[in-house]
Amino acid sequence: MASKILVSVIVPVYNAEKYLEKCLTSICHQTLRDIEIIMINDGSQDQSLSILQNFADLDKRITVLDLENSGVSKARNIGIDHANGQFITFVDADDWLEVTMLEELYQACRLTGSNIAKCDLYWQEAEGSRQLHYPSNTYCTFSAIECLNKLFTEIGESHFGFASCKLYEKSFLDMHRLRFDEAMSFAEDTVFLTRAVLKNQSICYVPRQLYYYNVNNESSLTKKAMVNLRNNYDVLYKKLLMELLRAEVYAEVKNSFLNYQFEGLLVILHQSATKQQMKYEMQSFLKAYPDILKVKLINRNMKQFVFLKLMKMNWFSLSSTLIYLNVKKPKVI
């Protein structure tokens, strides 16, 4: 029985009653039928568990695990350990899938022999979804260095930085003991993916938008992570740098990584309530990460992102802060 399961779909659930029906329906209706669906109820206090059990009664491919609240990383890890599929994918409980997503990613792995395949996602917002246009539908392969450069320079980690919208071979994850860091509650996806691509050295890319990412969930973990933001970034940068140095690739991705840190600085400054707090955050960040002064911003999207952030923060105030600290503006190329 287990050998016939092609994909294990792992869905951590925490207080997601508003979204579960749409999420589960999109998974149950996948054109790839030989799947198992592992729903991990992570201590929900709403009607999520009841909804999961009702779906499980209707579709025997669904397994419901009911846990005390322990966080998304532990829930995903438990899902991996329970998975019987040849491949694994992760879905957030407030997101949903195109009905062909699993089949298309599975075929990409089968035809290319890759341990990891990825597609693009829709950013689902109130005004609609952002649709991409592709010049070709041909699979391509990104090397580990290409993956990391894209991950560190894409604004908001638009698709390389998410554990979702990807398929991972289960034996590959087990062989390299790839699991989510349960001590992290911020950007744990980024650390997991960095480790995965460094072990695999590539990702097969399917040029299709097949995963719908719900930006509108006000209670999402991404928004909760704004608390203790600077400490979260410090932990993240330390873990990423350790992985890059261990794999001896830091020199090849250094400028991209500095871009990633610079984006983090902008987010922190944007959260600052006063000019004095902005001044303090700038000084503290640059003291901890002095190499950021050498950053060369890489692409047009990053330049536009920086410009918009600076406009929102009041560029005059930020310029005054830079002059006060005797800091030169980052170079843009």
Q: Is the pLDDT score of 218 beyond 90?
A: no
Residue 253 parent element (H or E)? helix 250-271
Rounded distance, CA 282 to CA 128, Å? 35
pLDDT band, residue 73 (cuts 50/70/90): very high
The better pLDDT of the pair 124, 222 is held by 124
* Assigned token pair, 314: 């009041």
pLDDT band, residue 281 (cuts 50/70/90): very high
Rounded distance, CA 258 to CA 252, Å? 12
Average pLDDT over residues 107-119: 96
Lowest mean pLDDT, pick from 86-95, 203-212, 307-316: 307-316
pLDDT band, residue 216 (cuts 50/70/90): confident
What are the extents of the domains in the chain? 2-223, 249-332
User: CA end-to-end span of the chain, whole Å?
Assistant: 55
Would you tell me the crossing angle of helices 300-313 and 315-324 to the nearest 10 degrees?
Answer: 90
Q: Is the pLDDT score of 302 beyond 50?
A: yes
Q: Is the pLDDT score of 118 beyond 50?
A: yes
The better pLDDT of the pair 253, 160 is held by 253
Give yes or no for a contact between 307 and 160, defined as CB atoms under 8 angstroms apart. Answer: no
Read off the pLDDT of residues 16-58 as tens digits, 9 standing for 90 and up.
999 999 999 999 999 999 999 999 999 999 999 999 999 999 9
Read off the pLDDT of residues 168-182 as tens digits, 9 standing for 90 and up.
999 999 999 999 999
Average pLDDT over residues 293-299: 80
pLDDT band, residue 305 (cuts 50/70/90): low
**Residue-level pLDDT at 1:** 41
Q: Is the pLDDT score of 287 beyond 50?
A: yes
CATH hierarchy code of domain 2-223: 3.90.550.10
Would you tell me the crossing angle of helices 188-200 and 229-246 to the nearest 10 degrees?
Answer: 10
pTM score, whole prediction = 0.88
Rounded distance, CA 286 to CA 289, Å? 5
**Structure-token match 């699991």, residue found:** 179
